[in-house]
Structure 1
Amino acid sequence: MKKRGNFLFIEKKDNIYTLSLTPELQDDIGTVGFIEYSNENTLKVDDPILNLEASKTVHEIDSPLAGKIVERNEAAISEPTLLNSAKTEENWIVKLTDVDEEAFNQLEDA
């Protein structure tokens, strides 16, 4: 199941929620040149996940859901343009667990 929130796709598979940039956000920000993850491992709604610098803007990506970060896309730190990829296995930001199922269900369908 896939939802949208804060210009991110949130895809649920088992109990893992994978957050990635929507094509609209990718177009709006341009080519990503630098990212820096927040140090937090537990997120509340609208907490910052990462800051990025791209060709068109400097932008903070905020979480549409509360949850625990279980994995970050570490490859994107050394190769930030992965976030511009159309491939979901490359352009993801973080993976969350401990997400409120009801909060996820209330997000917009993707």
Structure 2
Amino acid sequence: MDTNYYWIDEDSNGVVTIGLTDAGQNELGNITFVSLPKVGDKLTTSDTLLDVEADKAVSDIDSPVAGTVVEINQQAQSNPSILNESDKSKSWIAKIQK
């Protein structure tokens, strides 16, 4: 998936929060299933951050940063369509410590 399709916000401690941009949400359509990493997983930029099934596509989304997963959006596990929200406080995917 193109880098225009996700956003990242980094805090002062090097923790990066990742989510889908409007363009990414539009490319995928309504998200119906996600497979998120586990807390503690160590990812490189060639590792899959998110497996997603949606109306328009089935995609593996690579991690935009290397580091350790410190938190995942638990709500997305049970309600994948939350990743379609425009509110970043609800629609984030994972937090990674660089």
**TM, length-normalised to structure 2:** 0.89
Determine helix, strand or coil for the equivalent of 1:86.
coil
Amino acid at match of 1:32: I
Could you say what the CA RMSD is over the residues aligned between the two structures, in angstroms?
1.7
Q: How many residue pairs were aligned?
A: 95
Contact preservation (8 Å) 2:4, 2:23: no
Percent identity reads: 35
| Aligned: 1:95 with 2:98 | no
* 2-structure distance, mates of 1:38, 1:75: 14
Gaps of 5+ in 1: 100-110
Structure 2 equivalent of residue 33 of structure 1: 32
1:59-79 CA distance string (max 9 Å, x none): 111101101100001110100
Greater Rg by CA: 1
Task: Say if 1:48 and 1:63, in contact at 8 Å, map to a contact too.
Answer: yes
- The structural deviation recorded for 1:6 is 6.2
- Residue 89 of structure 1 aligns to a residue whose secondary structure is helix
Give the structure-1-normalised TM-score.
0.80
**Any stretches of 5+ residues in structure 2 without a counterpart?**
none
Q: Distance in 1 between matches of 2:84 and 2:69?
A: 21
| CA drift at 1:26 | 0.4
Kept in 1, the 8 Å contact 2:4–2:21? The answer is no
- Matched-pair contact (CA < 8 Å) for 1:9–1:19: yes
Match of 2:22 in 1: 23
Residue 38 of structure 1 and its aligned partner are, at CA, apart by 3.6
Q: Deviations over 1:51-110 (max 9, x none)?
A: 11101111111101101100001110100011000000111000011x2xxxxxxxxxxx
